[in-house]
């Protein structure tokens, strides 16, 4: 719909990626808070690492950010390839 109203592909791609990555960041924030809150439960299952090991948290956050970005890229790409006239007719 935005492309039919004059937005370019880069703007639509950035908008969809930004909205998707905001959800990824919210999930990561809640996940980190939950993981830190549950460290006393998890400490009995961890071997050769501390429950709040910064390297482990960094690697996990980085891998989830990469996965989240790749997951958002598909819908963002599809949103830029929609023909504006077809989008207008569908509404």
40 domain residue, yes or no:
yes
* pTM beyond 0.85: no
Q: Which value, to the nearest 10 degrees, does the dihedral of the CA atoms of residues 60, 64, 66, 68 take?
A: 180
Q: What's the rounded Cα separation, in Å, for the pair 72 and 61?
A: 16
- pLDDT per residue as tens digits for the range 30-89: 999 998 888 878 777 777 777 788 888 899 999 999 999 999 998 888 878 877 777 677
- How many separate domains does the chain show? 1
**Are 72 and 24 in contact, with CB atoms under 8 Å apart?**
yes
Residue 1 falls inside a structural domain = no
Q: Does the residue 4 lie in any domain?
A: no
Enclosing domain of residue 17: 9-90
Q: Is 77 part of a structural domain of the chain?
A: yes
Collapse the DSSP code of 42 into the 3-class scheme (helix H, G, I; strand E, B; otherwise coil) and give the result.
helix
Q: Is residue 63 part of a domain?
A: yes
| 9 closest CA partner among 80, 82, 87 | 80
Per the domain annotation, does 24 fall within a domain?
Answer: yes
Residue 2 lies in a domain: no
């Amino acid at each position: 719909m935005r492309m039919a109203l004059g937005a370019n592909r880069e703007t639509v791609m950035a908008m969809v990626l930004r909205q998707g990555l905001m959800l990824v960041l919210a999930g990561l924030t809640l996940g980190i808070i939950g993981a830190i809150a549950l460290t006393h439960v998890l400490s009995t299952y961890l071997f050769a690492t501390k429950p709040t090991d910064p390297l482990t948290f960094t690697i996990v956050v980085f891998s989830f950010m990469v996965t989240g970005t790749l997951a958002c890229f598909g819908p963002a790409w599809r949103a830029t390839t929609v023909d504006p006239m077809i989008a207008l007719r569908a509404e």
